[in-house]
């Protein structure tokens, strides 16, 4: 059956709206509610092998790299294993140390990105073990890795990744819980997180239902030549992915920064012409994040705040250019729900500017040459 955009103006719009159903697909059959764990058969690793992992290294390019950073946070928080993500395009050029007790994770929608594939081969040449988080079944990376998790997003045509990226996050969620449950994560916490993962498809649907409001905010953002996207800790990869999506399809200069680092440089650029999209979840950093928003407002910088209903913005309430409340989940899983409105903002800003949303200039869906 031919895959076309149907009644949508672009594949990106179709794929945005497919996310709740796709999210269900990646979770289906992989959640063990009774023992509060993930059930990821394709890893080809038994409980003893999972317990022996001392470090996790995640590799991907573009959006897959940013979601890899979200995944690293999940693994550190839930499994208490040191984890980090790196651009796969850099990895093989720095004579990387490959250790037998590190689990390497290659993340790729297409499974064909040459930089990611060559990173996998470099690890394997040095005796390391790699699992894949891949969407396209039978792709080069899927064939090369030692095990993995298929993303079950279905075909993704738009260059700007939406539904595959969401499923990458959910796959990391399941992996982190499974790694945690063979270590110190309690059954109660495991059940809490499995229940949280189960709620996500419906909550994505709730975010997508606010599309008309997001479109109004996007129109205002489309006017700016340059924007900041800020967040910290769990929110920072969300900001990076938000900036990536925005620059890819609107051709505006969108720069991601840690909220905490604003005062060490970028504040100099804040002005009424430079809006900031701030990720402000209701978590342990909320007060500090709101304080940073005051710094921006004091310099006349327009603010769009992606947050939770429970967050009190105080005096800022009357001056923010847009406030978007997303549904709350477990704190660890919030990043994906904070990411969805950024996809919608980028899409509507690009639509407003009249760009080719599915095929932005100079970019390819999968980069298969070095």
Report the interface residues with ligand G6P, using CB under 6 A.
Answer: 61-64, 108-110, 113, 116, 159, 161, 363, 366-367
| 256 φ/ψ sector (left φ>0, alpha ψ -120 to 50, else beta) | beta
Residue 332 CA to chain centroid, in angstroms? 13
Q: How far apart, in Å, are the Cα atoms of 274 and each of 22, 208, 225, 353?
A: 35, 26, 8, 18
159/176 with CB nearer ligand G6P: 159
Q: For residue 306, give Cα distances in angstroms to 105, 203, 362.
A: 29, 15, 30
Give min distance, CB of 369 to ligand G6P, in A.
Answer: 12
Please count the other Cβ atoms lying within 10 Å of the Cβ belonging to residue 98: 17
Minimum Å distance from CB 65 to ligand G6P?
A: 8
**H-assigned helices in the chain:** 11-17, 19-27, 47-51, 63-79, 88-91, 114-125, 140-144, 163-181, 187-208, 211-222, 235-250, 286-298, 334-353
> Could you tell me the smallest distance in angstroms from the CB atom of residue 248 to ligand G6P?
6
The residue among 109 and 166 lying less far from ligand G6P, judged by its C-beta, is 109
We find the least distance from the C-beta atom of residue 337 to ligand G6P, in angstroms, to be 20
Q: Which is nearer to ligand G6P, 187 or 364 (CB)?
A: 364
Cβ distance to ligand G6P smaller for residue 108 or 167: 108
Integer Cα distance of 345 and 195 in angstroms:
28
**Phi, psi for residue 22 in degrees, rounded to 5:** -65, -40
Distance in angstroms (rounded) separating the CA atoms of residues 161 and 159: 6
Q: Could you tell me whether strands 129-134 and 102-108 are parallel, antiparallel, or unpaired per DSSP bridges?
A: parallel
Shortest separation between residue 121's beta carbon and ligand G6P, angstroms: 15
Q: Which is nearer to ligand G6P, 63 or 259 (CB)?
A: 63
At closest approach, how far in Å is the CB of 100 from ligand G6P? 26
Taking the complex as a whole, the smallest distance from the CB of residue 161 to ligand G6P amounts, in Å, to 5
Indicate the residue whose CB is closest to ligand G6P: 62
Comparison of 21 and 367: residue with beta carbon closer to ligand G6P: 367
Minimum CB distance to ligand G6P smaller for 144 or for 161: 161
């Amino acid at each position: 059956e031919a895959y076309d955009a149907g009644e949508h103006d672009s594949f990106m719009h179709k794929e945005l709206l497919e996310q709740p159903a796709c999210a269900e697909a990646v979770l289906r059959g992989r959640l063990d509610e009774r023992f509060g764990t993930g059930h990821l058969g394709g890893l080809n690793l038994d409980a003893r092998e999972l317990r022996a992992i001392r470090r996790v290294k995640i590799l991907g390019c573009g959006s897959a790299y940013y979601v890899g950073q979200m995944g690293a946070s999940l693994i550190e928080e839930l499994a208490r294993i040191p984890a980090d993500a790196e651009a796969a395009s850099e990895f093989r050029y720095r004579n990387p140390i490959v250790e037998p007790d590190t689990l390497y994770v290659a993340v790729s929608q297409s499974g064909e990105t040459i930089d990611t594939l060559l990173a996998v081969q470099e690890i394997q040449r040095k005796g390391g073990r790699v699992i894949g988080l891949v969407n396209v079944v039978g792709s080069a990376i899927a064939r090369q890795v030692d095990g993995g998790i298929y993303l079950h997003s279905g075909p993704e045509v738009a260059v700007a990744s939406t539904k595959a990226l969401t499923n990458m996050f959910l796959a990391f969620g399941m992996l982190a819980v499974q790694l945690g449950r063979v270590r110190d994560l309690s059954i109660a916490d495991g059940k809490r997180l499995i229940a949280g993962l189960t709620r996500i498809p419906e909550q994505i649907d709730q975010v997508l239902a606010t599309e008309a409001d997001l479109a109004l905010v996007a129109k205002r953002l489309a006017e700016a030549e340059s924007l900041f996207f800020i967040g910290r800790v769990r929110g920072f990869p969300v900001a990076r992915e938000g900036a990536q999506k925005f620059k890819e399809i609107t051709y505006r200069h969108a720069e991601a920064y840690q909220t905490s680092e604003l005062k060490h440089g970028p504040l100099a650029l804040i002005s009424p012409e430079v809006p900031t999209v701030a990720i402000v979840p209701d978590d342990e950093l909320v007060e500090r994040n709101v304080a940073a928003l005051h710094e921006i407002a004091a310099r006349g910088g327009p603010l769009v705040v992606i947050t939770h209903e429970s967050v009190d913005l105080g005096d800022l309430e009357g001056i923010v250019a847009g406030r978007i409340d997303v549904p709350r989940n477990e704190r660890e899983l919030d990043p994906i729900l904070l990411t969805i409105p950024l996809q919608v903002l980028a899409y509507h800003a690009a639509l407003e500017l009249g760009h080719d949303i599915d095929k932005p200039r100079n970019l390819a869906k999968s980069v298969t040459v070095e």
